[in-house]
Amino acid sequence: MHEMGIACSILDAVANEARRHPGARAMKVGVRIGELAAIDPEALRFCFEVMVKGTEQDGLQLEIDRVPRQHQCADCKEEFVIRDYDFRCPRCGTVSVDFASGDELELTFVEVSEDESSSAGTKST
């Protein structure tokens, strides 16, 4: 149960990003969570909602993109999702243990509102 700490890290990152956009407000943050990341997305959502409530980040939404375990075939280079620990490539049948993705715990984006105070200084690049 370390989702509270993870939620805290996400909110710190959002606050840092929001400071770079004076006058704008962070509305939504995206995270990518692999199935091997040892994070329970529902517990993370619960912690996140508890932590933003009553703060200046109240209303901030969390978008979670879950990533399955994927391997890349050593022979034909096909990337495929691993289900039930079956490591055979669906295209050519080679057993592949080359891990490709599925342990991510990453921030993907922050959505900030258009500048609420003035039109200067928050140009999107």
Partner 1 sequence: MNRVPLERKVLSENDKLAAELRARFHEHGILCLNIISSPGSGKTSLLERTLESLPRETRVAVLTGDIQTENDANRLKRAGFPVKQITTGGTCHLDARMIDKHLAGWRLEDIDLLLIENVGNLVCPSSYDLGEEAKVVLLSVTEGEDKPLKYPSIFFKSELMVLNKMDLLPYVPFDVAVAEENARKVHPGMEIVRVSCTTREGIDAWLAWIERRRQSARAAAAVAGETLVAAPGAEPGS
Determine, following the binding rule CB under 8 A, whether residue 124 of this chain makes contact with partner 1: yes
Q: Which value, to the nearest 10 degrees, does the dihedral of the CA atoms of residues 102, 106, 108, 109 take? A: 160
Determine, following the binding rule CB under 8 A, whether residue 39 of this chain makes contact with partner 1: yes
Q: Helix or strand or coil: residue 25?
A: coil
Q: Which of 51, 64, 100, 107 binds partner 1 (CB under 8 A)?
A: 107
Q: Which two tokens stand for residue 2?
A: 């370390």
Closer CB to partner 1, 56 or 103, in the complex: 103
Count residues binding partner 1 (CB under 8 A). 34
Determine, following the binding rule CB under 8 A, whether residue 38 of this chain makes contact with partner 1: yes
Question: What b-and-e string marks burial along 42-72, b requiring 16 or more CB atoms within 10 Å of the CB?
Answer: eebeebbeebbeeeebeebebebeebebbbb
What residue ranges bind partner 1 (CB under 8 A)? Answer: 1-2, 5-6, 9-10, 13, 17, 21, 24, 27, 30-31, 35-39, 85, 87, 97, 103, 105-114, 122, 124
